[in-house]
Amino acid sequence: MSKVAIVTGSAGGLGKGIAERLGKDGFSVVLHDINEALLNETVTELKGKNYNVIGVKGDVSKRDDQFNLVKEAVDHFGRLDVFVNNAGIEAVSPFLEITEEQLNRLFHINVNGVVFGTQAAANQFIKQAGKGKIINACSIAGHESYEMLGTYSATKHAVKSFTHSAAKELAKHQITVNAYCPGIAKTKMWDRIDEEMVKYNDDLKPGEAFEKFSSAIALKRYQTPEDVANLVSFLASEDSDYITGQTILTDGGLVFR
């Protein structure tokens, strides 16, 4: 019987890359997203590659949705082995222009979503009386606080803290909790960050913010979804059984900790 993984926010971007890699690794994968049309497209695409996948629409910021997601996975595949809290959003603004709406939106999705996903997965792992793995999306912004990305950086610092706390509390159940911390990837999220940075800086032209950030990478190339998926694949495997409470940078050499 194949292992079962859930990946939130996996209709596109890094989440899709992670879901595809876990499928390649032999997992049955539950794809999840709030964008139903894109989710259905991705499910069809991965089924066309002979991966064993289903799609569940949901909003990670709602606790009931996260528990329902786990229930749907278990109803369909019979068990759960890995839960990847991948879903997240960004916001770009000067510190003095951070709004109540921005704070609430980013924390609800990036932080509350991780907490609720971890709770839902851990409850299922405890019911199964076996080990389980929870893998969270942190970021270089969880290790460094970036200008113009104040709220996003704060949410990712919170994810790092919850990763540590959950790992300490859940270890007695043989549940590991770790996080992957991507850097600069050519995704739609980074396209949006670049676009917003240009709005607030007259000296920048479109594409230059991305180039400026990525030029500092030691390995001299920006990140691909495969780079992130490689780390998640390891964290989802038995090779990582003795690792917990870690927030691992996968950024090509940008932030050194």
Catalytic residues: 152
The reply, when asked if residue 183 is annotated as ligand binding, is: yes
* 3-state percent breakdown (helix, strand, coil) of the chain, nearest 5: 50, 15, 30
The reply, when asked if residue 59 is annotated as ligand binding, is: yes
- From the centroid of its chain, how far is CA 32? 12
The reply, when asked if residue 185 is annotated as ligand binding, is: yes
**Cα(first)–Cα(last) distance of the chain, in Å?**
39
Whether residue 94 contacts residue 142, with contact meaning beta carbons closer than 8 Å, is answered with no
Phi-psi region of 50 (alpha: psi -120 to 50; beta: other; left: phi over 0): left
The reply, when asked if residue 152 is annotated as ligand binding, is: yes
Strands 132-137 and 53-57: unpaired
The reply, when asked if residue 182 is annotated as ligand binding, is: yes
The reply, when asked if residue 200 is annotated as ligand binding, is: no
C-alpha span between 22 and 190 (Å, rounded)? 24
The reply, when asked if residue 187 is annotated as ligand binding, is: yes
The reply, when asked if residue 33 is annotated as ligand binding, is: yes
The reply, when asked if residue 25 is annotated as ligand binding, is: no
Give the closest residue to 107 by CA, choosing from 161, 38, 146: 161
Numbered residues of the known binding site for NAD(+): 33, 59-60, 86, 152, 156, 182-187
Numbered residues of the known binding site: 33, 59-60, 86, 152, 156, 182-187
